[in-house]
């Protein structure tokens, strides 16, 4: 049974574009066309406004929480071409860094797995992707991938951290050699996979082609210990694809069509144990999908916006025979 357990009144004066829970589900960050980023404490069904962050000069499109081991850090990106990183110091939230390296709206920000350090990927309408790495003492190093996607990049999503090769514990003090990868989706209808080379440069590793219109969102599924990688992508063409790659037998990605919707699909997102995919469509619904035992994807629930009270009965589909 799905129920509304809390309603947070953000008091944003304009359209909300993104809302994200922090790692523990205790805080909520929201951003809006009213140019502000707000942070709420939502423990125990309450809502307390912790911060109202101003600094952007245009609608703010996305927010992203960094891993708690780095402290309380939030990144936001906006139409004003800026990416701002906010940090909580001594109980107050302040701007800790501003990145202005893009020529056009920055559409998406995504933090890398904490094992890699504090690294933020940003995708912009100028077609470039920039990677900000925290190097210490308030300094951020920038690497830019120009022309990652022609016309523009709409989404970035990191692959989960997997230690390659042997699984023996590395001697203390030595960092394991992670292969850092992320996926991006763009207006060239493509999904691209990027890999960091040994010299620190980012190279395009793969192109995934299946969509016939702008790719609006990509989401790399969390790892559940199986030797397969999974990416979900959605597009202006109304299709949602699930891409899978068998890590042991090489680098080929095969797409499976989840569903063809009647309208643009804007957003896809995996639950933390990667067993449910949520898809937001232009038809005012959020649908939840699960993979059944024989590899087919099944819609298990519809979350619909509408008037009236919350309906109480829900069908939970489980793995079918």
Partner 1 sequence: MEELDGEPTVTLIPGVNSKKKQMCFDWGPGEMLVCETSFNKKESETKPGCPFIYIIRKDIDVYSQILRKLFNESHGIFVGLQRIEEELTGKSRKAQLVRVSKNYRSVIRACMEEMHQVAIAAKDPAIGRQFSSQVSILSAMELIWNLCEILFIEVAPAGALLLHLLDWVRLHVCEVDSLLADVLGSENPSKHDSFWKLVTILVLQGRLDEARQMLSKEADASPSSAGMCRILGDLMRTMPVLSPGNTQTLTELELKWQHWHEECERHLQDSTFASSPHLESLCKIMLGDEAALLEQKELLNNWYHFLVTRLLYSHPTVKPIDLHLYAQSSLDLFLGGESSPEPLDNILLAAFEFDIHQVIKECSIALSNWWFVAHLTDLLDHCKLLQSHNLYFGSNMREFLLLEYASGLFAHHSLWQLGVDYFDYCPELGRVSLELHIERIPLSTEQKALKVLRICEQRQMTEQVRSICKILAMNAVRNNRLGSALSWSIRAKDAAFATLVSDRFLKDYCERGSFSDLDLIDNLGPAMMLSDRLTFLGKYREFHRFYGEKRLTDAASLLLSLMTSQIAPRSFWVILLIDALPLLEEKEVVFSAEQTYELMRCLEDFASRRPVWREPGVQRIQEDVENTKLEMLRLALARNLGRAIIKEGSLEGS
Of residues 15-74, those binding partner 1 (CB under 8 A): 15-21, 23-26, 28, 30, 33-34, 42, 59, 61, 67-71
Of 2 and 101, CB closest to partner 1: 2
The CA distance from 187 to 155, in Å, is 10
Of residues 237-266, those binding partner 1 (CB under 8 A): 258-259, 264, 266
The distance of closest approach from Cβ of residue 308 to partner 1 in the complex, given in angstroms and rounded to an integer, is 6
What's the Rg (C-alpha) of the chain?
A: 20
φ/ψ (deg, to 5) at 257: -75, 120
Q: Give the count of residues interacting with partner 1 (CB under 8 A).
A: 95
In order of 62, 152, 156, 251, 313, the CA distances from 128 in angstroms are 17, 7, 11, 25, 46
The distance of closest approach from Cβ of residue 117 to partner 1 in the complex, given in angstroms and rounded to an integer, is 11
The distance of closest approach from Cβ of residue 320 to partner 1 in the complex, given in angstroms and rounded to an integer, is 7
The CA distance from 2 to 311, in Å, is 9
3-state secondary structure of 70: helix
Of 55 and 59, CB closest to partner 1: 59
CB 251 within 8 A of CB 190: no
Query: Which position among 97, 114, 144, 195 is part of the footprint of partner 1 (CB under 8 A)?
Result: 114
The distance of closest approach from Cβ of residue 213 to partner 1 in the complex, given in angstroms and rounded to an integer, is 14
The CA distance from 40 to 47, in Å, is 6
Instruction: Give the number of residues written for the chain.
Output: 321
Taking residues 132 to 161 in sequence order and writing x for each that binds partner 1 by CB under 8 A, - otherwise, the string is ------------------------------
CB 245 within 8 A of CB 262: no
Q: In what order do the strands lie in the sheet with 202-209?
A: 153-158, 181-186, 190-196, 202-209
Of residues 218-237, those binding partner 1 (CB under 8 A): 222-225
Of residues 174-213, those binding partner 1 (CB under 8 A): none
Taking residues 267 to 306 in sequence order and writing x for each that binds partner 1 by CB under 8 A, - otherwise, the string is x-xxxxx----x-xxx-xxxxx---xxx-xxxxxxxxxxx
Of 2 and 179, CB closest to partner 1: 2
The distance of closest approach from Cβ of residue 196 to partner 1 in the complex, given in angstroms and rounded to an integer, is 20
Q: Which residues pair with 37 in a beta bridge?
A: 31, 53
């Amino acid at each position: 049974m799905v129920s509304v357990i809390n309603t947070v009144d953000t008091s944003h004066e304009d359209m909300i574009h993104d809302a994200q829970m922090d790692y523990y589900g205790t805080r909520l960050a929201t951003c809006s066309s009213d140019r502000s980023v707000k942070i709420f404490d939502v423990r125990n069904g309450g809502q307390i406004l912790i911060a109202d962050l101003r600094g952007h000069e245009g609608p703010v499109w996305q927010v992203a929480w960094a891993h708690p081991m780095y402290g309380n850090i939030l990144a936001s990106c906006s139409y004003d071409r800026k990416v701002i990183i906010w940090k909580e110091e001594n109980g107050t939230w302040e701007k800790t860094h501003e990145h202005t390296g893009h020529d056009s709206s920055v559409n998406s920000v995504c933090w890398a797995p904490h094992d890699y350090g504090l690294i933020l990927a940003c995708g912009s309408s100028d077609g470039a992707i920039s990677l900000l790495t925290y190097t210490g003492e308030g300094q951020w190093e920038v690497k830019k991938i120009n022309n990652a996607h022609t016309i523009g990049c709409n989404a970035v999503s990191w692959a989960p951290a997997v230690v390659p090769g042997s699984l023996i514990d590395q001697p203390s003090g030595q960092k394991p050699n992670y292969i850092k990868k992320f996926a991006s989706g763009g207006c060239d209808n493509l999904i691209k996979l990027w890999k960091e080379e040994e010299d620190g440069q980012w190279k395009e590793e793969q192109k995934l082609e299946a969509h016939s219109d702008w790719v609006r969102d990509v989401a790399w599924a969390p790892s559940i210990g199986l030797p397969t990688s999974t990416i979900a992508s959605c597009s202006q063409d109304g299709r949602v694809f699930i891409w899978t790659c068998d890590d042991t037998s090489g680098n080929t990605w095969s797409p499976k069509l989840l569903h063809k919707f009647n309208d643009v699909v804007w957003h896809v997102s995996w639950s933390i144990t990667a067993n449910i995919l949520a898809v937001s469509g232009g038809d005012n619904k959020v649908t939840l999908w699960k993979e059944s035992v024989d590899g087919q994807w099944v819609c298990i629930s519809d979350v619909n916006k509408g008037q009236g009270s919350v309906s109480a009965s829900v069908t939970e589909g489980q793995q079918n025979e």
